[in-house]
Amino acid sequence: MTCPVPKEQQPLNEYIELKEAFFYRWAKLSRSQYLQVIFKMWLGFAIVFAPVAMSIQSPSRHPWEFICVASIGGAVGLVLPVLLMLSGWGHVKQRLSSAKIFYEESGWYDGQTWEKPTADLEKDRLLVSYEINPIMSRLQKTILGIVIFLTLTGGILKFLG
């Protein structure tokens, strides 16, 4: 039986599209490259947040407090792209893991469901186990790291103030 799901809605094609997308492919980089991207994004958000941090703490009178506030702004900003990556990869994981695929032939009003053959389902679930689960774990650890960073930086800020 051939797959009636349009090519762009087939889970395997969604996975391929996601892993090649500029933003989402960052999660598949080597560990050091991934950490560099995360650090650069954090630094970018911290720089963008610096004017707000200046209005909260004067960099000339309280440099450490200013650095903490700007760092917190950078970390809060970093949460959003990481959650977006987590959401995208989670969607593809769910589509690959599911035995039934919902798809639309021509619009929102004509949705259909297709049940994957067992062989396809097993292949897709292997892909999830070996490719997507490590990405999801990395992104979840990143969120946890951001939460720990925010907690520590907030504690330092409270100690300094």
Whole-number pLDDT of residue 1 = 60
Whole-number pLDDT of residue 56 = 86
Number of domains into which the chain is organized? 1
Whole-number pLDDT of residue 8 = 87
CA angle 97, 99, 100 (to 5 degrees): 115
98-116 pLDDT, tens digit each: 999 888 877 666 778 889 9
pLDDT tops 80 at residue 54: yes
56-99 pLDDT, tens digit each: 888 888 899 999 999 999 999 999 999 999 999 999 999 999 99
Q: Where are the alpha helices (DSSP H) in the chain?
A: 11-20, 31-56, 63-97, 118-127, 133-160
Has residue 1 been placed in a domain? Answer: no
Whole-number pLDDT of residue 107 = 66
CA dist 107 and 70 (Å) reads 45
Compute the mean pLDDT over every residue in the chain, rounded to the nearest whole number.
Answer: 92
pTM to 2 decimals? Answer: 0.89
Whole-number pLDDT of residue 108 = 64
CA dist 98 and 140 (Å) reads 21
Q: Which residues constitute the domain of residue 93?
A: 7-160
Helix (H, G, I), strand (E, B) or coil at 161: coil
CA dist 132 and 92 (Å) reads 8
Has residue 81 been placed in a domain? Answer: yes
